Each structure stands twice: as structure tokens, then as C-alpha cells.
């Protein structure tokens, strides 16, 4: 199992990463990011399709995602705009960063964290 070392959260950040692990398929990396209030995000990266990332938003007590975001882009950098939010995710197999912010206002999901 892979883990991400948790760290400090920027003052206006949505919180970052508690842990990452591989899912049932060994080629899928999964990060879990605490969000604002009782929200958290699951980030799934399929090593076979490095140009595609799925971000799922969960509310406390829910087992099914409330919203699902499909991010596309080049290897290691992904972005999308949904309604009035901008999501971006980047990773290089050692560091990961998720940013969820309203359009026009910076609000990052913490600083990059390293995978063991």
C-alpha cells in the first residue's frame, strides 16, 4: 500500500491529502483529500490512462459520490471547470496536489505531498 505523508494546510486551503492507496486494481492510485466542512474528495488516477483523472466529492456519511468530475490533460497535469468551480490536479508519482476553487478566486487544496 502506498501512503501520502500529510502536512500543513494553507490558511485558505481546502485541506490536503490524508492518504493514498492502491485500489483493487494495482494500477490505480487513489488519494483522499479532506475538503471544507464535512466534505472530502477521492482522486483516482489510472496508470494505464495517465491523461485521465476522476475526482469524486463525498459528504459525511455518504458512501456514494455526490458529484463526479472528469479531468483531462497531459501526463501529470489535469484540469476542468464545473459550474462555477475550477478543479486541477497534478502528480508525478511522488507528489500530488488537488486544487478546488471558485472561478476567479485562488483556493488551493494544500501543498504537494510525497508518496512513500
CB 53 within 8 A of CB 44: yes
Residue 112 lies in a domain: no
Is it the case that residue 13 has pLDDT exceeding 80?
no
Determine the structural domain holding residue 52 and report its residue range: 19-104
The total number of structural domains that make up the chain: 1
Q: Which of 2-6, 41-45, 110-114 has the lowest mean pLDDT?
A: 2-6
103 — pLDDT class (breaks 50, 70, 90): low
Query: 2 lies in a domain?
Result: no
**Residue 78 located in a structural domain:** yes
Q: Is residue 88 part of a domain?
A: yes
Distance CA(48)–CA(36), nearest Å, equals: 31
Indicate the pTM of the whole model: 0.57
Query: Has residue 14 been placed in a domain?
Result: no
- Give dist(CA 54, CA 27) in Å, integer: 14
Per-residue confidence (pLDDT) for residue 48, from 0 to 100:
64
Q: What is the pLDDT of residue 76?
A: 59
pLDDT at 99 over 70: yes
Position 74 confidence tier, pLDDT thresholds 50, 70, 90: low
Q: Are 8 and 17 in contact (CB under 8 A)?
A: no
Amino acid at each position: 500500500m502506498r501512503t501520502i505523508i500529510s502536512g500543513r494546510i494553507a490558511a485558505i486551503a481546502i485541506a490536503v491529502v490524508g492518504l493514498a492507496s492502491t485500489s483493487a486494481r494495482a494500477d490505480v492510485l487513489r488519494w483522499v483529500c479532506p475538503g471544507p466542512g464535512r466534505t472530502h474528495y477521492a482522486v483516482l488516477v489510472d496508470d494505464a490512462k495517465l491523461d485521465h483523472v476522476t475526482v469524486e466529492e463525498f459528504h459525511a456519511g455518504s458512501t456514494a459520490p455526490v458529484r463526479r468530475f472528469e479531468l483531462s490533460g497531459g501526463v501529470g497535469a489535469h484540469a476542468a471547470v464545473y459550474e462555477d468551480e475550477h478543479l486541477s490536479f497534478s502528480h508525478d508519482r511522488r507528489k500530488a496536489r488537488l486544487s478546488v476553487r471558485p472561478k476567479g478566486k485562488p483556493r488551493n487544496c494544500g501543498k504537494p505531498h510525497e508518496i512513500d
